[in-house]
Amino acid sequence: MEQTLRVAVFGASGYTASELIRALINHPRLEITNLVSRSHAGKKLSEVFPHLLPSYISELRLVDEPTQDYELAFLCLPHEASHELVPLLLESGKRVVDLSGAYRISEEGAYEEFYRFSHKHPELLREAVYGLTELFREKIKGARLVANPGCYPTATLLGLYPFLKFGLGLYEVIVHALSGVSGAGRTPRQEFHFPEMSENFFSYSVEKHRHVPEMEDAIRRLTNRDIKIRFTPTVVPTSRGMLSTIYLKAPKVDVLELFRETYKDEIFVKVLERPPHTKWVLGTNYCFVYPYYDRRTETYVIISAIDNLGKGASLQAVQNANVMMGWEEDEGLFQTPLFP
């Protein structure tokens, strides 16, 4: 019989949790033993997520604190809560995949500026492995703490990585990324109230977005270079989906070849010869990427599509858990997109 691992999901009432649970239900080697939620403690899973009524864990009750054994914790918590919980979990011998931003950036200074809290565990920032699997796979193996990337950084870094990997000097990087509304979380807000978001789209955090230091930090980890990214996010009226378009200058290469070479052994990255639709990766851990060199303006244009809750959050978290455990990387990740 195959090795299985007991897991706890912290923050079990939000969207990243529901997507994670969807994957875990079908995962042959990960077993949910604790669903932890301060706000919904005492409720059955099917009360919090009626769509999970038919699942085998629908009767499981959410708890304040873990009550059953587990070895691995997935944190679907607010940044501040993860910041505090992670050291305690590590201390008690758990392994952690943190889906918040609390351990994604290696320098604690960024937290004051972008997250508005003072980071108290700089040593863990140094230890944490940034969980963009395709970029940091070797470090993820055996890691105690994986900081699962943000959705924008995931889509963007997968579009930049071939340039970074082959040491191609890149500059003038502009990223314009679009996201479905679920990226903003489950808490209702005026601008995302259905009547106002339907037939609407708009940019936000144009001046400052916390995914910028995360992306620049990941580039620094990979190349030791400081690259400044101009980043604009736009929210569009879908539940899920993310499209990152990267404009950059770099030495001339056969860009299609560069991407194919980079991703030839990757399960979850597919290089396309035409722009991807977000719906083609809906509900999956895939990234479809289309690289193009615009000769007229001497600009590379890279378009990558992911599901913000899939590869952009919870399914990549499972991918990371698989790598941490030394299992097949696609264990439990055979989702086929819902179409249409």
Catalytic residue positions, numbered: 151
Which of these ranges, 65-73, 93-101, 135-143, 285-293, lies near a second copy under the rule CB under 8 A? 285-293
178 binding a second copy? (CB under 8 A): yes
53 binding a second copy? (CB under 8 A): yes
277 binding a second copy? (CB under 8 A): yes
C-beta of residue 159 within 8 angstroms of C-beta of residue 173: no
C-beta of residue 125 within 8 angstroms of C-beta of residue 108: yes
Count of all residues that appear for the chain in the document? 340
Q: Which is nearer to a second copy, 81 or 272 (CB)?
A: 272
Q: Using alpha carbons only, how large is the chain's radius of gyration in Å?
A: 19
Contacts of 267 (CB under 8 A, 6+ apart): 329, 330
In the complex, what is the shortest distance from the CB of residue 159 to a second copy, in angstroms, rounded to a whole number?
13
* Total of chain residues touching a second copy, rule CB under 8 A: 86
Contacts of 110 (CB under 8 A, 6+ apart): 213, 217
Q: Which is nearer to a second copy, 25 or 121 (CB)?
A: 25
Which helix (H) or strand (E) covers residue 134, if one does?
helix 133-140
C-beta of residue 62 within 8 angstroms of C-beta of residue 36: yes
In the complex, what is the shortest distance from the CB of residue 176 to a second copy, in angstroms, rounded to a whole number?
4
282 binding a second copy? (CB under 8 A): yes
78 binding a second copy? (CB under 8 A): no
228 binding a second copy? (CB under 8 A): yes
Give the residue, chosen from 5, 25, 81, 256, that forms a contact with a second copy under the rule CB under 8 A: 25
279 binding a second copy? (CB under 8 A): yes
In the complex, what is the shortest distance from the CB of residue 300 to a second copy, in angstroms, rounded to a whole number?
10
Which of these ranges, 1-9, 82-90, 319-327, 332-340, lies near a second copy under the rule CB under 8 A? 332-340
Give the residue, chosen from 155, 305, 313, 323, that forms a contact with a second copy under the rule CB under 8 A: 305
189 binding a second copy? (CB under 8 A): yes
* Dist. CA 312–CA 37, nearest whole Å: 22
In the complex, what is the shortest distance from the CB of residue 164 to a second copy, in angstroms, rounded to a whole number?
18
Which of these ranges, 20-28, 70-78, 97-105, 110-118, lies near a second copy under the rule CB under 8 A? 20-28
Contacts of 218 (CB under 8 A, 6+ apart): 130, 132, 135, 149, 153, 157
Give the residue, chosen from 37, 133, 238, 322, that forms a contact with a second copy under the rule CB under 8 A: 238
Please report, as a single letter, which amino acid is at residue 217: D
Residues 86-115 that bind a second copy (CB under 8 A): none
Contacts of 85 (CB under 8 A, 6+ apart): 10, 75, 77
Contacts of 132 (CB under 8 A, 6+ apart): 149, 153, 154, 157, 158, 218, 316
